[in-house]
Amino acid sequence: SGEIRNAELVLKRKDGRKIVVLENSRAVYDDHGRMLYYEGTLTDITEAHELSQQLSYEASHDALTGLINRREFELRLQRAIESAQIGDARHALCYLDLDNFKVINDKYGHSIGDRLLASVAAVLRRELRQMDMLARYAGDEFVAIMPMASTAMATAVAERMRNAVEEQLFSVRTGTMIGLGLSVGFAAFPDSGETTEEL
């Protein structure tokens, strides 16, 4: 039709900065029906685009740890379950719960507890493969999906995560370091269950 409507383009400015523009244009033809050029408008929507991306990130990530949140985790778990049902893939799910974390919050306060949760998240993330997904599920609970992982591999990774947390000393105030315990549960799917609830 020779028209471009509401097309989002990423352009690079002379200074190297990328911007997002909305293009609305139409083709201009000569008397013989040959296209000569397009005319129209480019509207800079960079700020709105960045805000939209930020809102999308905030809706799917935990503000404290930067991990995906429970809602996003459940969506990704459902997709992983569907991929296992379609193909012959085996995936693993780990549930990780900090032991007696309420005592730490009561003794040192929630701001220290929050800082510890962020530190634990960083420790857990280091033990996972790049393709694995780690989420903060609730308070002091984390979950990980390990795609294409055998039971042996997933068990080894889960044990590494538990050891990494339990071997780490966390600072709660100047001169005061504490250790944390971590309980780990494990399920393989589709072997252990075929729905998020079963797993």
Structure tokens belonging to residue 126: 């280091």
Catalytic residue among 62, 106, 140, 191: 140
Give one DSSP letter per residue of the chain, joined into a string: --EEEEEEEEEE-TTS-EEEEEEEEEEEE-TTS-EEEEEEEEEE-HHHHHHHHHHHHHHHB-TTT-SB-HHHHHHHHHHHHHHHHHSS--EEEEEEEETTHHHHHHHH-HHHHHHHHHHHHHHHHHHS-TT-EEEEEETTEEEEEETT--HHHHHHHHHHHHHHHHH-EEEEETTEEEE--EEEEEEEETTS-SSTTT-
Question: What is the arrangement of strands in the sheet containing 3-12, beginning at the earlier edge strand?
Answer: 3-12, 18-29, 35-44
Structure tokens belonging to residue 131: 């393709």
Query: Is 97 considered catalytic here?
Result: no
Question: Catalytic residues, which ones?
Answer: 140
